[in-house]
């Protein structure tokens, strides 16, 4: 080792094989803030509300959100223990490689990258949709009917602005994420108050917790056993998609002070507070519904609820609050994804790795930021195709990108959680750990991930069911095609080439075998 003075964080990072390259300027609050911003109840609760409404109705949302949130919190606890032990930008990929070897790390890293890119795409596209709605609510001349092309151009503009912010200042990112937390708290509270005070009528408790709908068109709209097994479960994706991306706390751990504790708390706390705030926010939507049939006719979009219950000015205010929150979320998602790409490329696991792992003068992976934004735009191109289900506009392509994000992220979470569970007491825990509770927490988390990942592959419209008379490609949930195709390609590349040279994480510091923090010089002393 050199004689440089190292902080405790740098010593810990050195024991994992890395020198400090990124700026470690983020506080514990900033680390929590980025995960809270990416979860963004002002994004997921608004943009994917239709998944819950059309596949179960108010009852599915009111009961489903808190139930699914509990299981997601258990997943978060499992990841918190892992990041405390291994606070690196590689996050999930690094943990899998450490615990299961290069092959586990390779597949985990690619699933994580695919999931994160899909999340960037879905959040930015949702932001574009709500920006279009917001402008139209304040300007009658803006929108002569909804325009997919106009929305896509707004989507590209949002991606570009988010990329520029990410490229030019890591300090600005931390500031924006801190602002984002308070925007989400104050903004959500403002939306709840508006929907509580302004509408002349509110739905009853029985209507909210007891109304069941099947607007998917599957099973002819019935709510029998087929609905319970194949339609109602899709409503869970509303929660599963909204409360995701909290692995950002891990990806930013190399830029966070006291990361072994701060990043661990950042993960589970962002889930916990988002779960509570999101449920209250969703209930405010449901109690504000004036006409259930008209909401269904509008595709289950929250904008229809606001138009029913509020004047155009108040509806526009609610949409503006959500749009701003979604923009903060898009910026944070791009940050998280680019850091994961940086770490994965640093280990030469991505084609063109040297380019994506190169840091700019401000020590930001600028090339990686641009690459993520470009791929996010490409995978969202099917959103240019108009789709109607039962006469209502339904964003099938958007829901597909949502499902890709859910499957990619949660399956990659499952791999290191399983490997940690299998190690049992042999796992060397960090400062924040689950103790003996890891046995049942890890097991329940794994079951939930498997069930949800299967649900995310379900078609969301009858026209998307293969081998039926109504089948059309524009209705297809292309999650199985994209994720499945990616896994097949990864399998081919692994056996044809990658396994011959990929050895997992490549360290930038050489320590003697078995060396620990005590072997690395501490701050205030010299080695």
Q: Give the CA distances from residue 326 to residues 11, 32, 126, 304, in Å, rounded to whole numbers and listed in that order.
A: 37, 17, 7, 19
Average pLDDT rounded to a whole number, residues 54-61: 96
Alpha helices in 139-235 (DSSP H): 148-168, 170-197, 205-210, 225-226
What pLDDT, on a 0 to 100 scale, did the predictor assign at position 526?
A: 29
Average pLDDT rounded to a whole number, residues 422-431: 92
Average pLDDT rounded to a whole number, residues 368-397: 81
The pLDDT confidence band at residue 525, using thresholds 50, 70 and 90, is: very low
Domains of the chain, earliest start first: 8-16+27-510 (1.20.1740.10)
Cβ(238)–Cβ(48) below 8 Å: yes
The pLDDT confidence band at residue 520, using thresholds 50, 70 and 90, is: very low
What pLDDT, on a 0 to 100 scale, did the predictor assign at position 346?
A: 83
Measured between alpha carbons, how far is 162 from 331 in angstroms, rounded to an integer? 5
Q: Give the CA distances from residue 87 to residues 138, 148, 412, 414, in Å, rounded to whole numbers and listed in that order.
A: 46, 42, 17, 18
Using alpha carbons, select from 162, 466, 81 the residue that is nearest to residue 338: 162
Q: Which residues of 139-174 are buried (b: 16+ CB within 10 A; e: fewer)?
A: eeeeeeeeebeebbebbbebbeebbebbbeebeebb
- Which of 94-108, 229-243, 264-278, 381-395 comes out lowest in average pLDDT? 381-395
Which of the pair, 510 or 315, is modelled with greater confidence? 315
Nearby residues of 145 by Cβ (< 8 Å), 6 or more positions away? none
Note the pTM of the prediction, 2 decimals: 0.87
DSSP for 55-91 reads TT-HHHHHHHHHHHHHHHHHHHHHHHHHHHH---TTT
The string of pLDDT tens digits covering residues 385-419 is: 877 655 556 677 787 888 888 899 899 999 999 99
Rg from Cα positions in the chain: 23
Highest mean pLDDT among 244-258, 387-401, 458-472, 487-501: 487-501
Cβ(216)–Cβ(231) below 8 Å: yes
Q: What does the mean pLDDT of the chain come to?
A: 87
- Which of 401-410, 437-446, 471-480 comes out lowest in average pLDDT? 471-480
- Which of 4-18, 78-92, 323-337, 512-526 comes out lowest in average pLDDT? 512-526
Measured between alpha carbons, how far is 248 from 141 in angstroms, rounded to an integer? 40
For the purposes of burial, counting CB atoms within 10 Å of the CB of 378, is it exposed (0-12), middle (13-18) or buried (19 or more)?
A: exposed
Using alpha carbons, select from 481, 287, 521, 451 the residue that is nearest to residue 382: 481
What pLDDT, on a 0 to 100 scale, did the predictor assign at position 66?
A: 97
For the purposes of burial, counting CB atoms within 10 Å of the CB of 488, is it exposed (0-12), middle (13-18) or buried (19 or more)?
A: exposed
The pLDDT confidence band at residue 527, using thresholds 50, 70 and 90, is: very low
Q: Is 511 helix (H, G, I), strand (E, B) or coil?
A: coil
Average pLDDT rounded to a whole number, residues 321-344: 90
The string of pLDDT tens digits covering residues 334-354 is: 988 998 898 888 888 888 988
Average pLDDT rounded to a whole number, residues 109-133: 92
Lookup: tokens for 406: 């859910």
Cβ(218)–Cβ(230) below 8 Å: yes
What pLDDT, on a 0 to 100 scale, did the predictor assign at position 375?
A: 95
């Amino acid at each position: 080792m050199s004689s440089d003075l190292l902080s405790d964080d740098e010593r810990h990072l050195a024991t994992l094989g890395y020198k400090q390259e990124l700026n470690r300027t983020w506080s514990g609050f900033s680390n929590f803030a980025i995960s809270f911003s990416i979860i963004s109840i002002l994004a997921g609760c608004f943009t994917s509300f239709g998944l819950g409404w059309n596949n179960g109705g108010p009852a599915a949302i009111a009961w489903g959100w808190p139930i699914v949130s509990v299981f997601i919190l258990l997943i978060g606890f499992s990841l918190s223990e892992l990041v405390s032990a291994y606070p690196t930008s590689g996050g999930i990929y690094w943990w899998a490689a450490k615990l299961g070897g290069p092959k586990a790390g390779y597949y985990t890293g690619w699933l994580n990258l695919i999931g994160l890119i899909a999340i960037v795409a879905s959040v930015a596209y949702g932001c574009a949709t709500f920006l279009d709605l917001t402008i139209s609510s304040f300007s009658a001349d803006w929108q002569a009917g909804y325009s997919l092309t106009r929305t896509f151009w707004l989507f590209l503009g949002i991606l570009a602005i988010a990329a520029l912010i990410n490229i030019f200042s890591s300090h600005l990112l931390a500031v924006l994420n801190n602002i984002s937390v308070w925007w989400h708290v104050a903004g959500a509270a403002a939306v709840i108050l508006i929907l509580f005070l302004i509408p002349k009528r509110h739905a009853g408790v029985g209507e909210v917790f007891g109304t069941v709908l099947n607007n998917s068109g599957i099973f002819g709209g019935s709510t029998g056993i087929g609905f319970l097994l194949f339609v109602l479960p899709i409503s869970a994706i509303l929660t599963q998609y909204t409360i995701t991306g909290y692995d950002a706390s891990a990806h930013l751990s190399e830029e966070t002070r006291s990361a072994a504790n701060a990043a661990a708390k950042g993960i589970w706390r962002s889930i916990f507070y988002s779960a509570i705030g999101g449920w209250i926010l969703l209930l405010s939507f449901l109690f504000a519904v004036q006409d259930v049939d008209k909401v269904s006719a509008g595709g289950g979009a929250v904008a229809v609820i606001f138009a029913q219950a509020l004047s155009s000015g108040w509806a526009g205010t609610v949409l503006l609050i959500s749009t701003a929150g979604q923009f903060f979320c898009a910026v944070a998602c791009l940050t998280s994804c680019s850091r994961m790409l940086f770490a994965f490329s640093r280990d030469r696991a991505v084609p063109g790795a040297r380019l994506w792992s190169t840091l700019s003068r401000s020590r930001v992976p600028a090339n990686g930021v641009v690459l993520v934004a470009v791929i996010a735009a490409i995978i969202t191109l099917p959103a240019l195709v108009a789709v109607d289900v039962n006469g209502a506009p339904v964003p099938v392509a958007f829901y597909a990108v949502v499902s890709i994000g859910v499957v990619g992220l949660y399956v990659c979470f499952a791999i290191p959680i399983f490997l940690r569970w299998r190690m049992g007491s042999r796992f060397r825990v960090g400062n924040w750990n689950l103790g003996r509770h890891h046995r049942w927490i890890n097991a329940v988390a794994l079951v939930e991930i498997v069930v949800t990942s299967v649900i995310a592959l379900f078609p969301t419209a009858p026209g998307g069911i293969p081998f039926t008379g109504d089948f059309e490609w524009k209705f297809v949930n292309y999650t199985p095609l994209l994720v499945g195709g990616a896994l097949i390609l990864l399998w081919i590349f692994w056996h044809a080439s990658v396994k011959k040279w990929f050895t997992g994480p490549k360290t930038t510091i050489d320590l003697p075998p078995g060396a620990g923090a005590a072997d690395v010089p501490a701050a205030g002393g010299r080695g």
